[in-house]
Structure 1
Amino acid sequence: MNFAQLRAFNAVATHRTFMAAAQALGVTQSAITQNIKALEESVGTSLFTRTGTRIELTASAYDLLPRVREVVLALEDLGSRISKTRDLRLGHLSIGLCAPYVAMPIFERFSQSYPGVTLNVRLGNSSSLLDLVAQHAVDVAIVTLLEPDDDFVCERLVDQEVMILVHQGHPWWQVDQVTAKGLAGQPFILRETGSMTRQIFERAMSKLAVPISTRLVLGSREAVKEAVAAGLGIGIVLNREIGQDARVKGIRLKGADVSAGEYLVTLPRNRERGVIREFFATACDQAADGKG
């Protein structure tokens, strides 16, 4: 077992294809295949199975991944420190996102500074993304939280608030805000249970004893927007995630605590390691500029 084999395993586990792993590491696909084969012989078990065009991790691979990821991060960080430069010429960073609109300016800024670093992005709700960080399936995540989670390093980037989403034909199209009591009886289109936006909204409505009628539950922010635009009901969305769709409009919710923060999170032991350290620095700079 050697570092090349561990890097190959980590890259395949991150990108889920041998070709993408080879491109991320700047080596041939055959080199990836040989390193994985040698590693499997060393550990005495298969690490990957093929499902169509995708690669899936075996139970042994899931058990091995957190340890391998830690070794790879540590050695990459050591190489960066030895070279006495913060200029990361090559590398990759896996990122979990629940709020692309918040992340894109950070990605732009980071890519300008470190064009050789590949960003591999996975989308999900905040609850699932925290699990992925804890499992070393992603290095960092940008998630919506009511408050920092003590199990992670949490850097607050921006403030958010839940808004009511309506379509052009709705009677509220011309108003700028509504009261919580006015929501009673309205047909709501909500995200899945793990959505932090939904949790914030439902917690606030519970405190105010306002009953919510759910017409439809959908698994993505984009699906909720399309359903609202089609006139199927009203929805909820964080203010920075409304986008530019002229068919829908966000309305502020008066008299309810529906605020939260967008946080960049990682595991404490990874915060000062190589590319993660630089991504945190870039995100903090972008957040500071945005507040200014």
Structure 2
Amino acid sequence: MNGAPAGPAPHTRPPRRPVPAAPVVDAHHHVWDLSVRDQDWITGPAMAPIRRDFGVADLAPEAHAAGVGATVLVQTVTVPEETPEFLALADGSDLIAGVVGWTDLTAPGIADTLAALRELPGGDKLVGIRHQVQGEPDPEWLLRPAVQDGLAAVAAAGLAYDLVVLPHQLPAATAAAALLPQLTFVLDHLGKPPIATGALDPWAGHIRALAARPNVVCKVSGMVTEAAWDAWSARTLRPYTETVLDAFGSARLMFGSDWPVCRLAASYAEVMDVTRTLTADLSENERRAVFGATATAVYGL
């Protein structure tokens, strides 16, 4: 046959491979072993479904099935022993990319304590510190001078600070963020809005004031347990996600499952599904931020 050989017919070309989705980061989950330490907040019949041990081996299949490739393990109790345990656990895990631990913010030697934690096995995965501010009776606990000194030490160590607060404590969180612009604050669980009642104010106003501080980001987490456990839906959660999307923007939001606490109201898969539903109108880049890029950047995963 004369002439150059013909190229392959169009129907013989290999199909284009779809670009794989970026791995999802679950920026907020817990584990506990009741034989090591009691979780004294898990009390009463309603909490019975989570009054048992939960480990990484329980989490991994659920997380992987939801497309999660990395997680952030967050403190549960205010004892110094827990953080080294979590760091050691993360050191042996391909799933846990970061640990938000606890240390006494008011201790004079907090800078040395943070440095010592960094030297432990898994210490390179320490990405933040958290205290159960929601349990403090003083609504301005975050503004105490000793606490402010501790938060400054957290910032100096290159760590973030997770805020677990109730709505009435949000103004103090806003003031703390203004006083410490060098520290990145991460608001857990949208600041625990009253989803079960359907009320938005004054929570929404406090959220907008907090979001005006550029050093604050927010976790889209913990919603199903702030809602009515047996009656939540995307419709009941949407006003709260829309509020934080409007206030923070997608670039300052990150997904968190709050597993296994979420199991009181929803499975891991259900939490992921409803969060995807609530963010379905975002662009691809915006969803990438919520489901991984923000957490990766903020925590340095």
Asked if these proteins are the same fold (TM beyond 0.5), I'd say no
Q: TM-score, with normalisation over the residues of structure 1?
A: 0.23
Q: TM-score, with normalisation over the residues of structure 2?
A: 0.22
Q: Which has the higher contact order (CA 8 A, sep 6+)?
A: 1
